[in-house]
């Protein structure tokens, strides 16, 4: 039992304790917990990226000094309708493009109301100066033989009664506009989902008793619609027309667009750009284009609200006053 173990003590005058060559983890830490193996695909926690300060952008300059300049350094110029139309005609002469090209407008809208947004809408308006010979296809709903004869004399494309419902639902009969008399409207309810915005209503002047007037309106009218929720792109004239005719058509379309939002809200037209088929867009000044809205009703409403607030304050003061005994 007292004999020296091999590898633990060395014989000789310089006798020393010999440490084992390799020490296992279990021998060194007998009570330590086993290390967990790293899971495959484990990602190290990412350090939060420091937010870079946004670069300062110099304010845009108003008017360039030279003829050659960087457009993104200057504000977009705003023109009056007369200046813009004259510039479009000048562009056509300098570019040698077709003189009878169409004139377009891009109308950017504010569709916001107090608690919701306006739904995209479409409308038809009669321009004071026609610029195309295109005629729309109008369908008239009536069951009265005399009214049907009047509609045909007014050059309506299709005239009929309830028998047309089946053909319209199946797609056999189509038209650009649908006109009806009030007596037949209850029978046209199955077409409401099919026609959607083209369903005859008094709001769109497609429901009434004056059939010749309605047919003439929709045969020669100009139609536009809201695209991308807040944009209207439509043509209004030809470039070879007199400037006053182009401006008259422009104002007619803008005034019709403004009727779709109550005057108590902000103007629905936020920005207006005019261009031709081959030119750049020119931003227009809205002063003198938007209709002048009378603010008499708004002032009355404000006065009424102020009076109500004064009465409420008086009632609160009366309640808060101590009762004298």
CA distance linking residue 233 with residue 274, whole number of Å: 10
H/E stretch holding 270 reads strand 269-276
Find, among 221, 230, 223, 231, the residue nearest to 105 by Cα: 231
Domain that holds residue 280: 80-120+229-291
Looking up residue 165, the CATH number of its domain turns out to be 3.40.50.790
Torsion of CA 79, 85, 89, 91, to 10 degrees: 30
The per-residue pLDDT for 318 is: 43
> What letter would DSSP give residue 202?
T
**Residue 186, domain member (yes or no):** yes
Q: How far apart are the C-alpha atoms of 210 and 238, rounded to whole Å?
A: 32
- Over the chain (325 residues), the average pLDDT of each successive run of 10 is 55 50 52 56 59 69 80 87 96 94 96 88 92 93 95 95 94 94 94 92 91 93 91 96 97 95 90 95 94 56 48 46 43
| Domain presence at residue 319 | no
Are the C-beta atoms of 184 and 208 separated by less than 8 Å? no
Residue 314 lies inside a defined structural domain of this protein: no
The CATH number of whichever domain residue 233 belongs to comes to 3.30.190.20
Measure the N-to-C terminal CA separation of the chain; round to a whole number of Å: 113
251 and 272: one domain? yes
For residue 43, the model assigns a pLDDT of 60
- Looking at the structure, tell me whether residues 115 and 244 fall in a common domain: yes
End-of-domain residue from the set 188, 205, 221: 221
94/236 same-domain check: yes
Six token digits for residue 165: 């419902």
Residue 108 domain flag: yes
Residue 91 domain flag:
yes
H or E element that contains 217: helix 211-220
pTM, full prediction = 0.69
User: Coil, helix or strand for 188?
Assistant: helix
- CA 228, 195, 268 angle in degrees (round to 5)? 35
Backbone phi, psi, residue 92, to 5°: -65, -40
The reply to whether 197 and 141 lie within a common domain is: yes
Of 168, 202, 221, which marks where a domain is finished? 221
Strands (E), 97-175: 102-109, 122-125, 138-141, 158-160
The pLDDT of residue 62: 76
How many angstroms separate the most distant Cα atoms in the chain? 141
Q: Residues near 164 by Cβ (< 8 Å), separated by ≥ 6?
A: 139, 141, 158, 173
Cα 34 to Cα 22, 28, 29, distances in angstroms: 19, 13, 10
In a domain, 47, yes or no: no
Residue 19 has which token pair? 């440490």
Q: Is 198 helix (H, G, I), strand (E, B) or coil?
A: helix
Number of domains the chain contains = 2
137 and 284, same structural domain? no
Query: Is residue 103, in this structure, part of any structural domain at all?
Result: yes
């Amino acid at each position: 039992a007292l004999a020296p173990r091999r590898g633990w003590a060395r014989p000789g005058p310089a006798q020393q304790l010999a440490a084992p060559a390799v020490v296992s983890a279990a021998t060194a830490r007998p009570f330590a917990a086993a290390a967990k193996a790293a899971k495959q695909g484990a990602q190290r926690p990412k350090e939060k990226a420091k937010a870079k300060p946004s670069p300062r952008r110099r304010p845009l300059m108003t008017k360039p000094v030279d003829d050659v300049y960087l457009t993104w350094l200057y504000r977009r110029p705003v023109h009056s309708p007369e200046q813009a139309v004259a510039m479009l005609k000048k562009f056509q002469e300098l570019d040698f493009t077709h003189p009878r090209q169409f004139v377009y407008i891009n109308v950017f809208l504010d569709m916001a109301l107090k608690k919701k947004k306006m739904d995209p809408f479409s409308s038809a308006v009669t321009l004071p100066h026609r610029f195309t010979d295109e005629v729309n296809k109008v369908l008239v709903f009536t069951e009265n033989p005399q009214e049907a004869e009047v509609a045909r004399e007014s050059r309506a494309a299709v005239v009929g009664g309830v028998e047309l419902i089946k053909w319209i639902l199946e797609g056999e009969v189509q038209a650009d506009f649908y006109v009806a008399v009030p007596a037949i409207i209850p029978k046209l309810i199955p077409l409401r989902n099919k026609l959607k915005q083209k369903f005859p209503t008094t709001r769109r002047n497609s429901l009434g008793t004056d059939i010749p007037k309605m047919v003439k309106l929709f045969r020669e009218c100009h139609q536009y619609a809201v695209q991308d929720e807040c944009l209207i792109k439509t043509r209004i004239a030809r470039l070879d027309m007199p400037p006053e005719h182009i401006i008259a058509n422009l104002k007619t379309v803008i005034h019709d667009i403004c009727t779709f939002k109550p005057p108590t809200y902000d103007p629905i037209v936020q920005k207006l750009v005019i261009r031709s088929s081959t030119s750049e867009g020119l931003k227009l000044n809205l002063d003198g284009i938007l209709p002048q809205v009378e603010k008499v009703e708004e002032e009355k409403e404000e006065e009424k609200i102020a009076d109500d607030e004064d009465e409420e304050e008086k009632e609160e003061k009366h309640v808060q006053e101590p009762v004298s005994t």
